[in-house]
Amino acid sequence: MKNSYLTAGIRFRPLIRLLSRNPVGWTPETISRVLFLLQSSLWSSLFSRIEAITYREALRNTPVPPDPIFIIGHWRTGSTLLHQLMAQDPELVAPTLFQVALPENFFVSYRFYQPIFRMLMGSTRPMDNVSIGMDEPQEDEYAIFRLTTQSPLEQLIFPSSRSYFLTRAPFLPEDDFLDQWGSSLQHFYRKLHLASGKRIISKNPFNSFRIPLLVKLFPQAKFIHITRHPYAVVPSTRHLWEIVQKQNVLNNKGYIPTVEEVSSFFSRMSETITAELLLLSREKFAEIRYEDLEQNPVSVLRLLYRKLQLPFTDRFEDQLNAFVKSIEGYQKNVFSLSDLQKKVIATNMRNYMACYGYGENA
């Protein structure tokens, strides 16, 4: 699915709401995208109605799970790898690509969409070489966007100015919509719990600015902050947004953020995470470095589980080892930075780099 995948699967009314409050740049490409989204929204609305009726009683009797584990941190810090590794735990479940793409009807629509997804999807993500499939772990911001139409992703799809969309986008809706937003997220997690009966492991960088609300919605939640050297994160993030926006934008104002913009935002996010995690009790959060996880994933996860007081079982270790073996030979994207760009990043990220032991001469 190479175009408009951030919005495909949204119901008809929310789609019309998005289109009515954002200008569309009418070109042959965007017209085809809008037509695709309109037809997919009609199917989604139909399946959602069927699911609401079919599963009403079961969902009413399913409690909101109080204890998700949230992986937070900046984009391209290795959160996907950590998510994949923890999804090997038989006691945990990660939302899948299909569930976040069709959050309101994944129970009833799966068998209808399965052959379509197989036909339209590639084997790897467009921004890197990570394998992708409809049952693979995926970040739940895509579900939040479809459920609420309240997400920074709106500014990515409908950019309103030549500046970094994350510096303009609110990470939570205004007060009038906040309760509805929270209820929608709880409802989605209730569905995930009904589907599996397991503890949820979520990966979502946008949640890095939502820690206090997530604790309120899920009182027993735990958090894992993953870090990585900014020299790797910043250029990879620029590449990410360039690819994702190109494949999803619906107007003519696409914009690639600068090194200055990305590193400044990265610094702001890390400072927010640090301040808000310190308000939690020590057993509620942990921090790991991607570089350590990459070198020795099983040992790092064993220590992580001990810190969070989670059971690290023999079965989990066996499945971890099998997964690590399956991804041997994976080739990461490689980006180069000029000396000036490194200086900009080091200046903006000085505190972060000192805190997590990242040298300026890497």
pTM of the model: 0.94
Q: How would you label 134-154 residue by residue, b for 16+ Cβ within 10 Å and e otherwise?
A: bebbbbbbbbbbbbbbbbbbb
Check residue 4 and give its pLDDT. Answer: 84
Secondary structure (3-state) at 257: coil
d(CA 88, CA 328): 16
Cβ count within 10 A of residue 223: 25
Encode pLDDT of 233-275 as tens digits: 999 999 999 999 999 999 877 889 999 999 999 999 999 999 9
- In one letter, which amino acid is 119? M
Encode pLDDT of 139-188 as tens digits: 999 999 999 999 999 999 999 888 999 998 889 998 889 999 999 999 99
Which residue numbers in the chain have pLDDT < 70? Answer: 1-2, 119-132
Domain boundaries, the chain: 12-356
Check residue 132 and give its pLDDT. Answer: 67
Tell me which CATH code domain 12-356 carries.
Answer: 3.40.50.300
Q: How far is CA 131 from the centre of its chain?
A: 16
Check residue 130 and give its pLDDT. Answer: 63
d(CA 298, CA 57): 41
Tokens for 88?
Answer: 């090997």
Q: In what order do the strands lie in the sheet with 199-203?
A: 92-93, 199-203, 69-72, 222-227, 285-289
Q: How far is CA 65 from the centre of its chain?
A: 19
Secondary structure (3-state) at 95: coil
Pairing of the two strands 285-289 and 222-227: parallel
d(CA 91, CA 88): 9
